[in-house]
A and B are shown apart, each in its own frame.
Chain A
Amino acid sequence: MHINLLYENEKRSASPVSLWLMVRVAIGAVLFLVIFLIFMFSLEYRAITRQVDALDEEWKYTDPKYKTALRVRSDLLDRAATLKALQGWRDARIAWGVQLDSLSHIVPEVIQLTEIHMSHTVMVVSNNIPARVFEAKFSGRTGAAGSEGNVVQFQAGFKTNPFSQFVESAVLPPGAFRQDPVVKTDRIFEIVCKYSPRLIE
């Protein structure tokens, strides 16, 4: 038989650690943890904001120089394009003085040039790039004897320097080699030279 002389509220736990103590320790631990986390968080937060502030300060100092550098880069691109275009324009020409001066080296002595007609057009070639297109017509006269050979020799001269680097083709159009209507013993001819398009780029 078990007789309990204690009321319910007089009962005590035999454990040295009471439930209430455990609750208080747990609450204390949680509070400590929370405070610790808040502290760590605030430290990290302040560190980040300080870094952002420091970068902002540095940016204030760097920004004007950076903007200037970007403007210079942009201006450089513009000017480099202008310079390239100017050089392209310059290189698109044919130095006709040299061409004319060199004619004496390729015209056989028995040929007399009567007219040189050089014309120029600007055409758009591939990729929308304009080009200078030159064409020159050389009219001349030679004696009947050996006339064909003389004209062919002159025509072949356009395959030599300084013509060869510019002249795309040098042809006698059909009917361009014929008897001189005035001096019947002479032959007159025309050689049409098409020059390679000089791209303006």
Chain B
Amino acid sequence: MKLPDSKKDRIVFFSFIGVVSIVVLYVVIQWGLLPLLDSKRKFETTLVERQEKLKKARRELDYAPGIQADFDSVTAQIEKIKIENVFRPILGSYLVGVSEQIESAAKVAGVWIEETREIGVGDIPVKAKDTSLKGYRLFSVQVSATGSFQDLARFIMQMENRNPFFCTTDMVISGQPDKPEEQRMSVRMEWLIENEEILKKGGR
């Protein structure tokens, strides 16, 4: 190919080439290069995000064995409390089991149980919005007993030693004028029980 002979034609020719080049360049940049750069930038962002996500996940997985061990330990402690200290109903009745425990402790302490009266099931007072004890409630009874002061003290100790979650809340011990060696005691006792509504819903 030969360049135009006249200077004017050459200027027109080069101008044409220039304009065409600019148009081609524009088209290439606008519809080719920019979308590709944009796509690359998105991939780069995605790459950084994925790397961060994986880094975070790997870090979490590094801690996972320790967390699992802690979880197992805490779960075992809760299960131990549930098995040993949370009172379970016998055929739907808490009073039967509670009465057995009271009678057993009273026998050891040498105390005469006159009456064990059910007060009922109540909520555990906890901090507002605190749901950590939602799986538990309280079962209370009122017990009337007689015995010497030391025997009554031993009876309460027996009950408390058997279950650290057992609590004596209200108590009256009074002497009997006709039997000075014997005291009458009326005491309210509380046991931790599982919340049956939560159990029915499959909670723990």
Residues of A within 8 A of B (CB): 8-9, 19-20, 23, 41, 44-45, 48-49, 51-52, 55-56, 58-59, 62-63, 65-66, 68-70, 72-73, 75-76, 78-86, 89-90, 93-98, 100-101, 103-104, 112-120, 122, 128-130, 132, 200-201
Contacts A69-B64, A85-B133, A90-B164 given; indicate if A56 touches B153 (C-beta within 8 A).
no
For the complex, is B159 an interface residue (Cβ under 8 Å from A)?
yes
For the complex, is B70 an interface residue (Cβ under 8 Å from A)?
yes
Interface bits B159-188 vs A (CB < 8 Å: 1, else 0): 111001111111111110000000000001
Interface bits B57-80 vs A (CB < 8 Å: 1, else 0): 110110110011011001101100
Min CB–CB distance A194 → chain B (angstroms): 15
Min CB–CB distance B178 → chain A (angstroms): 14
CB < 8 Å A-B pair total: 173
For the complex, is B51 an interface residue (Cβ under 8 Å from A)?
yes
For the complex, is B125 an interface residue (Cβ under 8 Å from A)?
yes
Q: Is the Cβ of B60 less than 8 Å from the Cβ of A69?
A: yes
**A19→B2 CA distance, assembly (Å):** 11
Q: Is the Cβ of B175 less than 8 Å from the Cβ of A113?
A: yes
Contacts A69-B67, A72-B64, A116-B173 given; indicate if A100 touches B47 (C-beta within 8 A).
no
Q: Is the Cβ of B165 less than 8 Å from the Cβ of A90?
A: yes
Q: Is the Cβ of B149 less than 8 Å from the Cβ of A200?
A: no
Q: Which residues of B contact A89 (CB under 8 A)?
A: 124, 133, 165, 192
Q: Is the Cβ of A59 less than 8 Å from the Cβ of B54?
A: yes
Most buried by B among A8, A58, A66, A97: A97
Main secondary structure of the interface of B (DSSP, over half): helix
Q: Which residues of B contact A59 (CB under 8 A)?
A: 50, 53-54, 57
Q: Is the Cβ of B61 less than 8 Å from the Cβ of A104?
A: no
For the complex, is B107 an interface residue (Cβ under 8 Å from A)?
no
Q: List 22 A-B contacts (CB under 8 A).
A: A23-B17, A41-B40, A49-B43, A52-B46, A59-B50, A59-B53, A59-B54, A62-B54, A62-B61, A66-B60, A79-B71, A89-B124, A95-B160, A96-B160, A96-B168, A97-B156, A97-B158, A100-B149, A100-B173, A104-B149, A118-B170, A130-B126
Q: Is the Cβ of A81 less than 8 Å from the Cβ of B47?
A: no
| Contacting residue for B43 out of A45, A96, A100, CB 8 A | A45
Q: Is the Cβ of B57 less than 8 Å from the Cβ of A66?
A: yes
Q: Is the Cβ of A82 less than 8 Å from the Cβ of B50?
A: no
**A75→B73 CA distance, assembly (Å):** 12
Q: Which residues of A contact B192 (CB under 8 A)?
A: 86, 89
Q: Is the Cβ of A84 less than 8 Å from the Cβ of B157?
A: no
**Known pairs A76-B70, A78-B132. 20 more at Cβ < 8 A?**
A20-B1, A52-B46, A65-B57, A65-B64, A72-B68, A72-B71, A79-B74, A79-B78, A82-B133, A83-B81, A86-B81, A90-B165, A95-B157, A97-B159, A100-B153, A101-B157, A113-B149, A115-B175, A120-B188, A132-B169
Q: Is the Cβ of A98 less than 8 Å from the Cβ of B54?
A: no
